Structure 1
Amino acid sequence: MLHAATHDPSVVTLDFANGTRARFHAIWLRDNALDPETRDPGNGQRLITIGDIPADTSVSAAEVVEGDLRVTFQPEDKTVTFPASWLADHAYDREMSHAKGWIAPGITTWDASIEAPGADWAEVHRSTAAKRAWLAAVAEYGFAKLTGGPTEPESLLKVADLFGYVRETNYGPYFEVRTEVNPTNLAFTGLGLQAHTDNPYRDPVPTLQILYCLENSAKGGDSIVVDGFRAAERLREENPEGFALLAGYPARFEYRGSDGVCLRSRRPMIELSPDGQLIGIRFNNRSAAPLVDIPFDRMEAYYAAYRQLAGYIDDPAMGVSFKLEPGESFIVDNTRVLHARTGYSGAGSRWLQGCYADKDGLLSTLAALDMTQPEAAE
């Protein structure tokens, strides 16, 4: 609730009942007006362009009415009401400086001490609250298991159906993870794999990966997940100059594993937004192409930082390990969480299927559940 509002032609200053104060520019308020001529009442999309707003837009009146803000804009002589709660949620008059590598609210970094979050197949299909909790775990921790599922091939597609759509690649809608003769990818052998993010040679990368177990009687083949954000945090804390190198210069990745396919990308191993937020990790030694974008006099220091980051990723104290049983699966945020596996023998059988999906679908489903079923978020 608002306590008071003052204004000049270009700025409205608000005092909230909780004692906080925030300023809003006239042009910002006009652009974000909530009236039906500015925004569609059904989908909330804006109905005007920036060019439709007069360049000399100003505020001629601003007052508190029943705890909310009522503003009149000139030269349109247009009056709009803004709920106080909406203004509080969208206030931008605040300190915005962050240390490089800051992590968004709602994300929790972790190491091997965490208990793997998970949910039951039947529960997430039956209960909105269970489904919401499972999706929220992926959003917060970057991974979660799903147990008690069916063991029929393509069951992983039903996992993606819970929140979005499968992203098809040159591997098809999904791929098999089992020992093959003359494999096109090392993932299709019994070799152990270092923790990595998948498909760093794509731009954009698939943002979610689902791995689903159908058979697993082979000795070994345990799955391991590592929080790449936590590894980057450690590097930033212990070697800030090395962190800046891996974030400041692009690495290169390439895949040419089958006829007609040559995928390449040029992205940093540690990706930051323009305001320094940690938003992505790309780490895959098998797909790394020669580094050619680092200055000569920084190359040795870059490799030292690369080695240091790899050491954190390989540290047993960083990884959560589990062996998937038939009907179990896990989902990882492929922009953050690295996955690995221990080697396994030819005795017995190990058959997993994998597919990719997009994180925006998961986050959209989660946000929609929070809006339509707020009790599920409590």
Structure 2
Amino acid sequence: MTTLTVHDNGKYIAIQTQGKSTRFHAIWLRDNAWDSATRAVGNGQRLLALRDIPADTSIASAVIEGDIVTLTFAPEAKTVDYPLAWLMDNAYDTAASTGTGWTGSAVKTWDSGLMADVPVGDFAKVSTDDHALSGWLANVARYGFAKLENGPVTDMALMKVVDLFGYVRETNYGRHFEVRTEVNPTNLAFTGLGLQAHTDNPYRDPVPSLQVLYCLESSAAGGENMVVDGFRAAERLREENQDWFDVLSQYCARFEYAGEDDVILRSRRPMIELSPDGELVGIRFNNRSLAAVTDVPFDKMDSYYAAYRRLGEIIDDPDMEVTFRLNPGESFVVDNTRVLHARKAYSGAGTRWFQGCYADKDGLLSKLAGLQARTLEAAE
């Protein structure tokens, strides 16, 4: 049985259900009203600013009948209905997260054990079947990367991958970039050298949050792609030494790129980025682009470099990597704010041609949320 009580002269209500009490403030409830005078019917955006709601808002009466909570607010004398399920889904009267470096339930961290079950989708299916597309996008969101197989082996096919969920983010490299051996390259990515696992473009603010790499030719020996979960690497560092985790999350590194005429890109961000409540939200790690670190106090610099070294060792640990070879027509999408990517060295014999581009995660998450909402509506 669900019951409702009003407290503190209408300052808040408490809903008791299944032996648990959940509280909601009057001002929060009024601000989150979904009536047509408060929210636009078409898009749900607020029609009122907070200044339009009386600062002394309180709950004059409260009734719960079935799955609907009906509240009347003073001094407006305004009555609003709330679905009980919506209130419970958006409850904030919960135990605070403790510690730092936690991840949400939608995130699954991983190590080399994921090699046995690399998330993968079929290009034809995800292009024509919303259920398949939703599943593939959900894997990108959950694991931070996913492969795509059986795509066309045609120039610029990677744009068809981006079209599945969003838009290309253009940079100084253009709308896309070619990845193959070059003479006197402007970037080490365009050589046959192996690359340490890294996040791309840490010198940008904000960084491109997604990268797409698409294989068109792959007859050279070697060159396997590798991914490492930066969130899992950060978790390992925290488990081994909390002080080292703290120093990499509390002080900014500096990153810089100046490999082209009239292009000087700089950023100042921590290698391990946390939200104010301690959630792990980002990793920036790229030894090629690290500038002089100047934001760490003298008495913390030794610890900072020890932590930086250890994080790199964890990232380089074979037990952390998932390795796969991309064949022509295959691609993968990687969350560049979380998952580090690399490649093994490859020989000059044969050919190796990849095309890459950047996109933004908000587009992918928006597409995923829309598909999931449509599935829920169809089930009701």
Report the TM range for the smaller structure's normalisation.
Answer: over 0.9
Letter in 1 for 2:13: V
2: distance between equivalents of 1:119 and 1:310? 31
1:177-192 aligned within 5 A? 177-192=179-194
Post-superposition Cα deviations, 1:194-241, rounded to whole Å, max 9, x if no partner, equal 000000000000000000000000011110000000000000000100
Give the structure-2-normalised TM-score: 0.97
SS of 1:257's partner is strand
1:322 CA displacement? 0.8
SS of 1:324's partner is coil
2: distance between equivalents of 1:374 and 1:357? 27
Q: Which moved more, 1:189-198 or 1:2-11?
A: 2-11
Aligned to 1:11: 12
Aligned to 2:236: 234
Q: Which moved more, 1:207-216 or 1:55-64?
A: 55-64
Aligned to 2:341: 339
Letter in 1 for 2:171: T
SS of 2:319's partner is coil
* Runs of 4+ displaced beyond 2 Å: 1-8, 374-377
Alpha carbons of 1:74 and 1:280: their partners in 2 closer, same or farther (altered >3 Å)? same
SS of 2:345's partner is coil
Answer whether contact 2:6 2:59 (CA < 8 A) is retained: no
1:309-324 aligned within 5 A? 309-324=311-326
Aligned to 1:291: 293
1:110-149 aligned within 5 A? 110-114=110-114, 115-149=117-151
Post-superposition Cα deviations, 1:126-182, rounded to whole Å, max 9, x if no partner, equal 211111110000000000000000011110011000000000000000000000111
Letter in 1 for 2:295: D
1: distance between equivalents of 2:139 and 2:312? 26
Aligned to 2:99: 99
Percent identity of paired positions between Structure 1 and Structure 2: 63
SS of 1:373's partner is helix
Q: RMSD of the alignment, in Å?
A: 1.3
Aligned to 1:77: 77
SS of 1:326's partner is coil
1: distance between equivalents of 2:187 and 2:378? 41
Aligned to 2:36: 36
2: distance between equivalents of 1:333 and 1:83? 35
2: distance between equivalents of 1:135 and 1:160? 12
Q: Which moved more, 1:81-90 or 1:366-375?
A: 366-375
Letter in 2 for 1:342: K
Aligned to 2:26: 26
Q: Which moved more, 1:260-269 or 1:53-62?
A: 53-62
Answer whether contact 1:231 1:312 (CA < 8 A) is retained: yes
1: distance between equivalents of 2:41 and 2:15? 26
Answer whether contact 1:369 1:376 (CA < 8 A) is retained: no
1: distance between equivalents of 2:347 and 2:23? 65
2: distance between equivalents of 1:34 and 1:97? 29
Aligned length: 376
Aligned to 1:304: 306
2: distance between equivalents of 1:4 and 1:19? 13
1:20 CA displacement? 2.4
Say yes or no: does 1:90 pair with 2:90: yes
2: distance between equivalents of 1:285 and 1:160? 28
Post-superposition Cα deviations, 1:264-298, rounded to whole Å, max 9, x if no partner, equal 00000000000000000000000000001100111
Answer whether contact 2:4 2:62 (CA < 8 A) is retained: no
Alpha carbons of 1:106 and 1:86: their partners in 2 closer, same or farther (altered >3 Å)? same
Post-superposition Cα deviations, 1:323-367, rounded to whole Å, max 9, x if no partner, equal 110000001000000000011111100000000000000000000
Alpha carbons of 1:146 and 1:322: their partners in 2 closer, same or farther (altered >3 Å)? same
Aligned to 1:164: 166
1:98 CA displacement? 2.1
1: distance between equivalents of 2:2 and 2:29? 16
Answer whether contact 1:221 1:341 (CA < 8 A) is retained: yes
1:375 CA displacement? 8.5
1:67 CA displacement? 2.9
SS of 1:218's partner is coil
2: distance between equivalents of 1:182 and 1:375? 55
2: distance between equivalents of 1:290 and 1:87? 49
Answer whether contact 1:120 1:148 (CA < 8 A) is retained: yes
Letter in 2 for 1:316: P
Letter in 2 for 1:130: A
Letter in 2 for 1:308: R
Alpha carbons of 1:308 and 1:376: their partners in 2 closer, same or farther (altered >3 Å)? farther
Answer whether contact 1:6 1:63 (CA < 8 A) is retained: no
SS of 1:56's partner is coil
Answer whether contact 1:5 1:64 (CA < 8 A) is retained: no
Aligned to 1:45: 45
1:9 CA displacement? 1.8
SS of 1:262's partner is strand
1:246-261 aligned within 5 A? 246-261=248-263
Alpha carbons of 1:349 and 1:243: their partners in 2 closer, same or farther (altered >3 Å)? same
SS of 1:48's partner is coil
